[in-house]
C-alpha cells in the first residue's frame, strides 16, 4: 500500500491522536488564540536574530522560556491581525444571527482597515467608514509591532483586493498565514467554504497564489483539528484538499506550497518524539526561514509534528496527566518554531494556534500565560467568538 511522504502505514500508531474526552469547542477557540499569542510573543523577542545571535544571547539551546527574557516580550502584528480577523468574522456572524446576510470578506476588509489605523497609517479616504467596535478600544492593539509591508501597502491602497483583481500581485509573505487560524474555528462549515473564506481574505493584501493557498491550507488544518482529527491526520487532510479540489476552478496547487508541506510531513515522520530533531540550520535548509507563506506554515507544522508524543504516553491518561503531556508538547514545539534564523514570531504563532486548537486551553503553560501581554483582550475576543458560534 502506498503512503504519502513521511506517512506511517495504516497499522502504525500516529503521534498526537486526540485525547478522550475531546476539548470543548470553546476551549479550542481559547487555546488557539492564546496559544498563537504565546508563540508569537516568545518568537517576537528574536524575530530578526539569526541562530548564532540567539545562541549567543540564550545559550546553546537557544530561547526556551519566557523566564529568559526578564521583562517579557509583547505580542506582535501576528496576534493583532489574528484578533482583527476574529472580529471581522464575528461581525459577519452577528449579522447572520440577526437574520441579515453580510458580505463576509467586506467585514474582514473593514476590520483590517481598522487595524491599519492602529498602525499609524491613514485609512484611505475612499474606504468606507465603519463605526468602532469593542476591539478598537483596546489600547494594547495600537502599538506598531513590525507589521508586514504587504499587509500595510495592500490595505493602504483603499482597494478591496480580490483573487481576480489582486493588490500586491507578487506578494507571498507569511502575513496571510499568521492571521488565518480563526477561519478554521467556525463550526458547521464545509472545507470548501473554509478554504474560500481564508483565501479570499488573504487576497485583500497578498496576490500570489502561494500566499492564499498557504492561508487556506492552514485554516483547513485548524478546521480538521476542531472536527476531531489527530495532528498528522489533519495535516494530511488539509494537504489532500489542496491537491484535490478546494481550489478555485482553473487554479493548480502551487508547487512550492505542496513541496514544503510534503517535506514537513516527511521530516517530522523521521523524528518521532523529542529525538532526532533537525538542527536549526538544517530546519532552515530544508523548509526555509519562514518569511514567505508556505515556509512559515511548513516550519510550524514540522515543529508540532516532530515533537508530538506517541500514543502510548497518552492512551488511558487521566485529564491531569494528559494536561502535563500537552503542556510539555507545547513547550517543545514552540522552542523548535522559535529557534532558527528566520521569522520566529510567525512560525511560533502558527505552531501555537495549531496546538491550542488541538488540545484546547489545557496545553498552555500557566507560567507562560502569566507573562502574556493583555490576556484579557484575547480572552475577550475568544469568548465573543465562542458565544456567536454557540460554543
Q: Is 275 part of a structural domain of the chain?
A: yes
Residues 6+ apart with CB under 8 A from 324: none
Q: What cell numbers appear for 359 in the block?
A: 488540545
Give the mean model confidence (pLDDT) for residues 298-323.
71
Q: Is 207 part of a structural domain of the chain?
A: yes
Q: Is 18 part of a structural domain of the chain?
A: no
Q: Can you give the residue range of the structural domain that contains 210? A: 25-388
Q: Is 243 part of a structural domain of the chain?
A: yes
CA gap 194, 185 in Å, rounded: 9
> Model-level pTM?
0.92
CATH code (residue 54): 1.10.4080.10
CA gap 347, 39 in Å, rounded: 8
CA gap 368, 75 in Å, rounded: 13
Q: Is 7 part of a structural domain of the chain?
A: no
CA gap 293, 287 in Å, rounded: 11
Q: What cell numbers appear for 292 in the block?
A: 514567505
Residue 320 has pLDDT above 60, yes or no: no
Q: Is 81 part of a structural domain of the chain?
A: yes
Burial class (CB in 10 A: 0-12, 13-18, 19+), 222: buried
Residue 10 has pLDDT above 70, yes or no: no
Mean per-residue pLDDT over the chain, rounded: 90
Between CA 294 and CA 221, with CA 151 as vertex, the angle to 5 degrees is: 35
Q: Is 6 part of a structural domain of the chain?
A: no
Domains in the chain, number = 1
Hunting for cell 480572552 — which residue is that? 379
Instruction: Read off the pLDDT of residues 137-148 as tens digits, 9 standing for 90 and up.
Output: 999 999 999 999
Instruction: Read off the pLDDT of residues 187-227 as tens digits, 9 standing for 90 and up.
Output: 999 999 999 999 999 999 999 999 999 999 999 999 999 99
Q: What does the pLDDT read at residue 251?
A: 85
Q: What does the pLDDT read at residue 321?
A: 60
List the one residue out of 348, 384, 355 whose CA is nearest residue 39.
Answer: 348
Q: Is 145 part of a structural domain of the chain?
A: yes
Amino acid at each position: 500500500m502506498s503512503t504519502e511522504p513521511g506517512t506511517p502505514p495504516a497499522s502504525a500508531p500516529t503521534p498526537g491522536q486526540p485525547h478522550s474526552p475531546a476539548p470543548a469547542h470553546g476551549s479550542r477557540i481559547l487555546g488557539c488564540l492564546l496559544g498563537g499569542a504565546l508563540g508569537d510573543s516568545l518568537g517576537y523577542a528574536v524575530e530578526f536574530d539569526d541562530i548564532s545571535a540567539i545562541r549567543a544571547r540564550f545559550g546553546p539551546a537557544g530561547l526556551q522560556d519566557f523566564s529568559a527574557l526578564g521583562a517579557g516580550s509583547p505580542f506582535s502584528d501576528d496576534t493583532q491581525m489574528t484578533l482583527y480577523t476574529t472580529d471581522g468574522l464575528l461581525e459577519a456572524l452577528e449579522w447572520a444571527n440577526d437574520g441579515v446576510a453580510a458580505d463576509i470578506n467586506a467585514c474582514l476588509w473593514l476590520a483590517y482597515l481598522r487595524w491599519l489605523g492602529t498602525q499609524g497609517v491613514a485609512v484611505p479616504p475612499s474606504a468606507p467608514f465603519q463605526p468602532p467596535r469593542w476591539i478598537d478600544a483596546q489600547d494594547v492593539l495600537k502599538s506598531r509591532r513590525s507589521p508586514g509591508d504587504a499587509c500595510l501597502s495592500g490595505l493602504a491602497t483603499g482597494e478591496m483586493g480580490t483573487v481576480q483583481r489582486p493588490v500586491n500581485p507578487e506578494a507571498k509573505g507569511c502575513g496571510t498565514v499568521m492571521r488565518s487560524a480563526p477561519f478554521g474555528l467556525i463550526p458547521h462549515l464545509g472545507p470548501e467554504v473554509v478554504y474560500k473564506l481564508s483565501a479570499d481574505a488573504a487576497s485583500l493584501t497578498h496576490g500570489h497564489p502561494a500566499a492564499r493557498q498557504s492561508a487556506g491550507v492552514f485554516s483547513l488544518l485548524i478546521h480538521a483539528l476542531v472536527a476531531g482529527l489527530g495532528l498528522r491526520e489533519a495535516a494530511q487532510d488539509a494537504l489532500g484538499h489542496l491537491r484535490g479540489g478546494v481550489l478555485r476552478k482553473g487554479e493548480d496547487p502551487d508547487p512550492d506550497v505542496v513541496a514544503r508541506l510534503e517535506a514537513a510531513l516527511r521530516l517530522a515522520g523521521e523524528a518521532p518524539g523529542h529525538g532526532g530533531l533537525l538542527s536549526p540550520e538544517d530546519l532552515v535548509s530544508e523548509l526555509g526561514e519562514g518569511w514567505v507563506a508556505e515556509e512559515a506554515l511548513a516550519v510550524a507544522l514540522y515543529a508540532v509534528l516532530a515533537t508530538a508524543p506517541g500514543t502510548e504516553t497518552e492512551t488511558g491518561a487521566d485529564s491531569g496527566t494528559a494536561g502535563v503531556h500537552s503542556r510539555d508538547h507545547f513547550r517543545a514545539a514552540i522552542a523548535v518554531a522559535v529557534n532558527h534564523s528566520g521569522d520566529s514570531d510567525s512560525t511560533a504563532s502558527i505552531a501555537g494556534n495549531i496546538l491550542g486548537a488541538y488540545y484546547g486551553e489545557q496545553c498552555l503553560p500557566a507560567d507562560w500565560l502569566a507573562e502574556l501581554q493583555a490576556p484579557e483582550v484575547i480572552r475577550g475576543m475568544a469568548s465573543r467568538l465562542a458565544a456567536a458560534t454557540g460554543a
